Amino acid sequence: MIPIVAPPKAIALSTSPQFRLIDLFAGAGGFTLGFTAPGSFQPVWAVDNNQYAVATYKLAILRLLY
C-alpha cells in the first residue's frame, strides 16, 4: 500500500521560502532552470548580450515559468 500523506521532509521543502535569482550571462537559461526546478528560487532578472541566447531564453524559460 502506498501512503497518501507525504513524508514531513517533503512538506518542509514545499513550504520553504523563495529566494530571488539574478542570472548574469544567462545564455539559454540552464542556470535559471536548474535553480527554479526545486521551487526555492524565483528569477527576477536575466541578462545576456547574444540575441539568439536571449530569444531562446524567452521561448524556453519564460514559457515554463510564467
Q: What's the pTM value of the predicted model, to 2 decimals?
A: 0.61
Give residue 7's pLDDT: 46
Which residue in this structure is represented by grid cell 510564467? Answer: 66
Phi, psi of 25 (to 5 degrees): 55, 55
Check residue 3 and give its pLDDT: 38
Ranges of residues in the chain whose predicted pLDDT is under 70: 1-17, 65-66
